[in-house]
Amino acid sequence: MSSIAPLQAQLASEHRVLLAYSGGLDSSVLLHQLVLLRSQRPGLQLRAVHIHHGLSSLADSWVAHCRQQCVQWQVPLEVVCVDVDARQGGIEAAARTARYHAFSELLLEDETLLTAQHLDDQSETLLLALKRGSGPAGLAAMPQQHWLGAHRHLRPLLEQSRQQLEAWAHQHHLTWIEDDSNSDARYDRNFLRLDVLPVLNARWPNFSRAVARSAALCGEQEQLLDELLSESLASLVDACGTLAIAPMLEMSDARRYALLRRWIAGQKGSMPSRDALRRLWQEVACSREDAEPRLRLGHYEVRRFRDRLYWLPLMQSLAGYQLAWPDAEQPLTLPDGLGLLRLNNRGVALRRPGPEEPLSVRFQAQGSFYIVGRAGRRPLKKLWQELAIPPWQRERTPLIFYGDRLIAAAGVFVTRDGAPDSPETTWNIDWCRENNKMEIGDEGQTDSGAAAKL
């Protein structure tokens, strides 16, 4: 690698780029090449971001190095401090999650993210995927380009070896940070870099390039499957993103699991293991009709309702909440991002409460009720079923009480006790939700009760 021609070709259509700049060898080389490219293309808008993980006592000195280098090369630098929760799959995975979340928050419109992974990183990634028992999607390792939300993410150095990057750095007298944690073989990636890959490359000098070819072939196979299954998947998924179960019953396991993986990917979920997919199908999709199955996958869960699968974020149970609403002229803020209740002429019409009927909101009620528009008293559970309210929405629907009387379920029904007597004694309560997505219930545990944490 003796020129920036490869980088120039890869960024020919880019006008605004954000480099993930750690200060290490790889990102230092890429930043230097970008500065050279900018001198040839003055219209190229270049920024850098340094993520401060707070995991090393040297982290502040790394920030200082990056600031100094960016000042010297006149590159705007953002330093972002992140919290790394090692409980989320270990330090390495948690740090990566924190980084990419920060990148997503920082990227500007039409800006492309650049990261500096190289050929040897690709070998490590594929070997880690083999260790996990990954299929073709995992073995495809890191693509040279993909999308991070609405932004392109490019890895311009992916075909360059670390040896080539070192040669560039020495040729141009670059300085960089050596992260002390890189010598700690307790981390899987470091173990591969320090103890495994040197042996493999010594035996087979072209090992890393062969690995990259295998990863590319796996990526091509996955792309082909995406194209072949896209029409079938589209026919199973509705506008809300839920997945139809019935058409999948007669499919082979291979086709069914391939569709489930692509459905989960479409929901921005992490790819589950083969065992997790098997449990999803057997314990959730194929559970008995009257069950309320649920399977937790990371920070989400899959649930079934009326022969469809739902991908839902985890949220707290609100069953025990009771909120007094002493002044109805003031909006009432609901817990856990459910929005607010307020008087509004677009809301549901109710009779006004009497002087001895304090207004409150709850999320759980017992007993049977008469509701407007239906004959006969029905248990609340039966009403929810008849009105097609999914189980996870039932404990997250505000129930309006006058004293101890259930008057209405906001946006769902009004009881006879809440029906207005006349226009003069009527008011309207409107549920203003903060978003229009489906809300969920508690984190509880799977199939007839026991949760699966995968």
Residues of each annotated binding site for ATP? 22-27
* Radius of gyration (C-alpha) of the chain in whole angstroms: 28
| DSSP single-letter state for residue 288 | -
Long-range contacts of 139-144 (CB under 8 A, 24+ apart): 139/214, 139/215, 139/218, 140/215, 140/216, 140/218, 140/219, 140/222, 141/215, 141/218, 141/219, 142/117, 142/215, 143/219
Q: Cα–chain-centroid distance for residue 40?
A: 38
Contact between 214 and 138 (Cβ < 8 Å): no
374 phi and psi angles, rounded to 5 deg: -135, 140
Output the CA torsion 80→86→91→96 (10° steps): -50
Contact between 284 and 293 (Cβ < 8 Å): yes
Structure tokens at 139: 């073995």
Sheet containing 332-333: order of strands: 332-333, 340-351, 426-432
Burial class (CB in 10 A: 0-12, 13-18, 19+), 410: buried
Burial class (CB in 10 A: 0-12, 13-18, 19+), 378: middle
What angle (nearest 5°) sits at the alpha carbon of residue 197, between those of residues 196 and 202?
A: 110
Question: Which H or E run includes 152?
Answer: strand 151-154
| Separation of alpha carbons 13 and 10, rounded Å | 8
3-state SS of 343-410?
EEEEEEEEECCCCCCCEEEECCCCCEECECCCCCCEEHHHHHHHCCCCHHHHCCCCEEEECCEEEEEC
Single-letter code of the amino acid located at 328: A
Give the list of residues 6+ apart from residue 416 with CB closer than 8 angstroms, or none: 369, 370, 371, 372
Closest to 360 measured CA to CA, from 316, 317, 397, 321: 321
Single-letter code of the amino acid located at 178: E
User: Across-strand partners of 266?
Assistant: none
Bind-site residues:
22-27
